[in-house]
Amino acid sequence: MHNKQIEIIFGKIFDNTIKILNNHTKTKNKMKRISLFLIAMLILAGTGLRAQAPAAGATAVLNYGGLEAKLKKSDVDIQNDKKNTKAKTWTTRAQALIDVYNVHNDIINRGDAPDRVKIFLKEPTEIQTSQEGPNNVEIYVYDRIDLKFVNGALESWTEKNKIHPDPLTEAQKALDEAMKLDSDGKAATDIKKVTQDLKLAYQSEAILKYESQDYQASYENFNNILKLNKLPHMNNQIDTILIYFAGRAAFENKDYTEASRLFEETASYNYDDLLLYVLRKQTYFALGDTTKGVTAITEGFNKFPEDQSIMIEMINYYLDTDQAEEALVMIQKAKAGDPTNVSFMFTEGTLFDKMGRVKDAENSYKQCIEMKPDYYDAHYNLGVLYYNEAVKVYEEASNIADNAAFEKKQAEGDEALKLAIPFMEKVAAMETTDQNSFDTKRSALETLRTVYYRLKLEDKRQEVINKINAM
């Protein structure tokens, strides 16, 4: 054994061997990171509720003082024995607290440019700048709020020096008290309006918490809306999409029993969302009920036979249960129904890759690239395929005692490694602001750094290092 001849690069290659992207995991991660905008649009479309927007001619100065004065007056009123027995006192208090919660929600929206925000908030006391991956980040600092802009668009905000620490909880208490005191029904109109406004506020808070990955709080806020819908004056309103997203939050919080209950309730109202089938399957699997899980995902596949996420769930199930041929049959069926769908070809390549059918995987990935030259995932996976094949050759070389044979096998490994270069270079050259693509690009660069080191292409290696350092 020529241990001295086995270069340090072996350790580097083995340590940096890139695994083929698992599409099942990518799908789940995408669901977790569902955009705030999409959630908001789905909810508003599904419920018929409208988000509050700045009124025409709205003042450029927030009236924090006015809201503080209203709340202080309400604090006094609820201590007054003559006023605290009237439903109106409590609906007024509830509305004041909802207004406190919405003090910023009423005038700023995600996606706003800095100039629009400054119409209402004026100039910040400070602007903090930083870089998050490919994104330029600016934090506008104000006395009561910090705004986070990503690439010039408002992404999120953090409130400080709050008028009330927990306005929605107190608003709910005030609404409950108003309903208890409204024995004659004279406050019914006010109670219904407060209920609708409180639903909107809970909705905003649920979305905020979901996006910040506080899934327990998100679930609680979605569930608060569902509870309000069951009040007598709401006539047991059914907001199917809110039931669904309450289930989504419970699922992310790993409360699979509650998630399953909510997903099944959603399904009972014929909610037509393909991800519901994926989530029902994953929830049942998490609960250990694979039979119901398979039934749910099969139902989804029969209804949406061309959907990639459902197909991947089916394929992964077949692979996990050593039914690779069944998975392959499913892919072929999908391709027959839509032969120009590059995603099906890519999934087939990934499946072949998992099965160890290297040549078949290579052909599928190449067909992907022929169909769509800028399909970077196919370039990346093909580069990984060649890279891993080269690693196998180097490993074989390490077990050869004869020096001449060892050198020959090493050379074969170098030639195999060269095949990965054009595909990794294609990925490394792509322009992107998407975090997933950015991560893939960085991984391609890191792979090229190892490849160039192995092939003694020092100038190219240093060029790649400079690009990585600049990211």
Instruction: Give the pLDDT band (50/70/90) at residue 46.
Output: very low
Determine what percent of the chain is predicted with pLDDT higher than 70. 87
385/454 same-domain check:
yes
> Do residues 183 and 191 touch, judged by C-beta distance below 8 A?
no
Residues 182 and 156 in one domain: no
Residues 95, 198: one domain?
Answer: yes
The span from the CA of 92 to the CA of 87, in Å, is 9
Please tell me the predicted confidence (pLDDT) of residue 1.
34
C-alpha 249: how far from chain center: 12
Q: Are residues 133 and 9 in the same domain?
A: no
Domain boundary among 243, 269, 295: 269
Domain closes at, from 223, 253, 269:
269
pLDDT at position 133: 85
Residue 284 falls inside a structural domain: no
Copy the structure tokens of residue 123: 């100039």
Q: Based on the fold, state whether residues 173 and 221 are members of the same structural domain.
A: yes
Tens digit of each residue's pLDDT (9 = 90 or more) over 313-367:
887 788 778 787 888 887 887 788 778 888 888 888 988 988 889 999 999 999 9
How far CA 446 is from CA of 301, 316, 436, 454, in Å, comes to 38, 28, 15, 13
Write the pLDDT tens digit of every residue in 12-45.
Answer: 222 222 222 233 333 333 333 333 334 444 444 4
Among the candidates 269, 285, 317, a domain finishes at 269
Claim to verify: residue 158 and residue 173 sit in the same structural domain? no
Q: Could you tell me if 194 and 101 are in contact, meaning their C-beta atoms sit under 8 angstroms apart?
A: no
Same domain, 42 and 22: no
pTM, to two decimals: 0.66
Question: Are residues 99 and 198 part of one domain?
Answer: yes
Domain span including residue 427:
1-33+375-471
Residue 159: pLDDT over 80: yes
pLDDT of residue 320: 78
Do 117 and 146 lie in one domain? The reply is yes
236 with 115, same domain: the answer is no
Number of domains in the chain: 3
Provide the pLDDT for residue 448: 93
Residue with the larger pLDDT of the pair 413 and 62: 413
CATH of the domain at 135: 3.30.1450.10
- With pLDDT > 90 as the criterion, what percentage of the chain qualifies? 64
For residue 192, pLDDT over 80 is answered with yes
- pLDDT the model gives residue 430: 87
Confirm whether 288 is domain-assigned: no
| Residue 114, in any domain of the structure | yes
Q: For residue range 58-110, what is the model confidence (pLDDT) as tens digits? A: 333 578 999 999 999 999 999 999 999 999 999 999 999 999 999 998 889 88
**pLDDT surpasses 80 at 369:** yes
**Closest to 13 (Cα-Cα) out of 312, 398, 390:** 390
Question: The domain spanning residue 200 has which CATH number?
Answer: 1.25.40
Kindly report which listed range (44-58, 195-209, 303-317, 433-447) carries the lowest average pLDDT score: 44-58
Per the prediction, the chain carries an average pLDDT of 84
pLDDT score, position 146: 96
Provide φ and ψ at 358, rounded to 5°. Answer: -60, -50
Same-domain pairing of 153 and 184 = no
Quick check: is 244 in a domain?
yes
Do residue 255 and residue 227 come from a single domain?
yes
Domain for residue 292, yes or no? no
Of the listed ranges 141-145, 313-317, 446-450, the one predicted with least confidence: 313-317
Beta partners for 150?
Answer: 137, 153
DSSP state of 372: -
pLDDT at 45: 42
Cα separation, 358 vs 385, in Å, equals: 8
Cα dihedral sign, 28-34-39-41? negative
* Encoded amino acid at 398, one letter: S
